[in-house]
């Protein structure tokens, strides 16, 4: 199967081909879902480099476990569960590392957008507008990272990845009522965090 055919082939058909050892079919699945997984991982961890590693590890795990996928949930939901677990592990590893190393208050924060902004063309927003927009994005990300892990996961999957309550519950192994409760509290916490950060509270 050629990668160019990916748009016309379902995930299920590609998975069948993968189980026969067709690496090009798996490449199609990677191309189809890698952006979604990266978005999830970068929102969970807040660091692009960690997110890229998580996506790579998630697809390696998916390839090795493709025979375990039973189709009880959508393939994207199954992949999401893998990525969420890897993100949890990476966050825990980072906490352990930070606890062991000296921390400087003057050290630059690892913002996902980097430190430099591109030189905008004439019709683009002004540098000041871009800085304000970038600062707001970074503040939103800080507020998300400040959430307890369980609340952060629900918020990212539901509000940012627009997964259904059922899919979020499946990926995180939670009841739908728990998903809704955590989402409500997570949204409130982010709103309060932004109000404090922007000086509107």
Task: Give the start-to-end residue ranges of the domains of the chain.
Answer: 1-101, 111-201
C-alpha separations of 104 from 49, 86, 98, 115, 143 in Å: 21, 27, 11, 18, 21
**CATH of range 1-101; options 1.10.1330.10, 1.10.1740.10, 1.10.3720.10, 1.10.1240.10:** 1.10.1740.10
53 burial (CB, 10 Å; 0-12 / 13-18 / 19+) is middle
Could you tell me which CATH number the domain at 111-201 has?
1.10.10.10
Is the distance from CB of 45 to CB of 90 less than 8 angstroms? yes
Q: What percent of the chain has pLDDT over 70?
A: 80
Per-residue model confidence as pLDDT tens digits over 61-88:
999 999 999 888 999 999 999 999 999 9
Alpha carbons 164 and 169: distance in angstroms, whole number? 9
Alpha carbons 47 and 59: distance in angstroms, whole number? 19
Per-residue model confidence as pLDDT tens digits over 126-149:
666 767 777 888 888 889 999 999
1-101 with 111-201: one CATH topology?
A: no
């Amino acid at each position: 199967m050629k990668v160019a055919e990916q748009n016309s082939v379902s995930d299920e058909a590609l998975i069948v081909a993968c189980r026969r050892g067709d690496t090009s079919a798996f490449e199609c699945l990677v191309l189809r879902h890698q952006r979604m997984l990266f978005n999830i991982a970068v929102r969970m961890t807040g660091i692009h480099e960690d997110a890229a590693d998580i996506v790579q590890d998630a697809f390696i795990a998916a390839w090795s476990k493709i025979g375990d996928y039973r189709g009880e949930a959508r393939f994207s939901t199954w992949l999401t569960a893998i990525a969420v677990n890897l993100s949890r592990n990476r966050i825990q590893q980072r906490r352990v590392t930070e606890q062991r190393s000296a921390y400087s208050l003057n050290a630059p924060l690892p913002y996902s957008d980097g430190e430099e902004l591109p030189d905008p063309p004439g019709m683009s927003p002004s540098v000041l507008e871009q800085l304000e927009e970038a600062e707001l994005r970074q503040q939103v990300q800080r507020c998300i990272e400040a959430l307890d892990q369980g609340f952060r996961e629900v918020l990212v999957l539901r509000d940012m990845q627009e997964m259904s309550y059922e899919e979020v519950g499946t990926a995180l192994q939670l009841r739908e009522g728990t998903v809704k409760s955590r989402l409500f509290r997570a949204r409130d916490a982010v709103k309060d965090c932004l109000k404090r950060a922007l000086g509107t509270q």
